[in-house]
């Protein structure tokens, strides 16, 4: 392998090893301005999009310990990687695809598990990690709130009765 290709291969390998996921998208027909907009949206979601050379990316994926991608890499492809959760990147790709009808999600990998396009679209429909955490905290907080309400009810009822008697005497 030539030195230039080896350098690109190492760059791909570093991206794959540093990211818990990657999503392969077909960007065929997407003009430069929309592609730049997609990159900006992905950056805001903690991800980045890189156009890849299929043969070199195939080798980098094999070196990273990902299953042989074989013939699944064909056409004009780009790879989305990131440090945050995969659902936020999938959400950006889904909304962008709805607006521009491109790019098309091909497949992805989360850790070492392959995800098809349908799986990634399901992940895109999930709420963000922060929303899920807030819901869990709300579930933990609900019993304590109900307990305080129940314990406080007799005292507040007594206070209302005393206030009604006081208002009646005036």
pLDDT in tens, 20-36: 888 888 888 888 988 89
What is the mean pLDDT of the segment spanning 84-96?
86
E strand spans, the chain: 21-26, 47-51, 77-82, 104-110, 113-116
CA–CA dist 102, 95 (Å, integer): 10
Report CA 101 to chain centroid distance, whole Å: 20
Whether residue 67 contacts residue 115, with contact meaning beta carbons closer than 8 Å, is answered with no
pLDDT digits (tens, 9 = 90+) for 108-134: 888 878 888 888 888 888 887 788 889
* pLDDT range class, residue 13, cuts 50, 70, 90: confident
Structure tokens at 40: 């900006």
What is the mean pLDDT of the segment spanning 142-147?
80
pLDDT digits (tens, 9 = 90+) for 38-73: 899 989 888 898 888 888 888 888 888 877 676 777
Report the share of the chain in percent with pLDDT over 90: 2
Indicate whether 152 pLDDT > 70: yes
CA-CA-CA-CA torsion sign (24, 92, 117, 134): positive
Determine the pLDDT at residue 40. Answer: 92
Determine the pLDDT at residue 1. Answer: 67
Query: Tell me, what DSSP letter sits at residue 27?
Result: -
| Closest C-alpha to 103, from 66, 49, 61, 55 | 49
pTM equals 0.71
Question: In 3-state terms, the chain is what percent helix, strand and coil (to 5)?
Answer: 65, 15, 20
């Amino acid at each position: 392998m030539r030195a230039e290709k080896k350098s690109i291969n190492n760059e791909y390998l570093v991206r794959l090893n540093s990211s818990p996921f990657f999503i392969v998208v077909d960007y065929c027909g997407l003009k430069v301005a929309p592609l730049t907009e997609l990159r900006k949206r992905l950056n805001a979601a903690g991800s980045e999009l890189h156009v890849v050379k299929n043969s070199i990316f195939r080798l980098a994926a094999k070196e990273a310990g990902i299953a042989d991608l074989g013939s699944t890499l064909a056409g004009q492809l780009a790879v989305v990687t990131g440090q945050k959760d995969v659902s936020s990147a999938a959400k950006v790709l889904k909304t962008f695809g709805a607006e521009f009808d491109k790019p098309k999600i091909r497949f992805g990998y989360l850790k070492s598990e392959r995800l098809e396009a349908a799986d990634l679209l399901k992940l895109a429909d999930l709420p963000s990690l922060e929303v899920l955490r807030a819901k869990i905290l709300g579930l933990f907080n609900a019993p304590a709130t109900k307990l305080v309400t129940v314990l406080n009810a007799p005292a507040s009822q007594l206070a209302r009765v005393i206030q009604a008697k006081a208002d009646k005497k005036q």
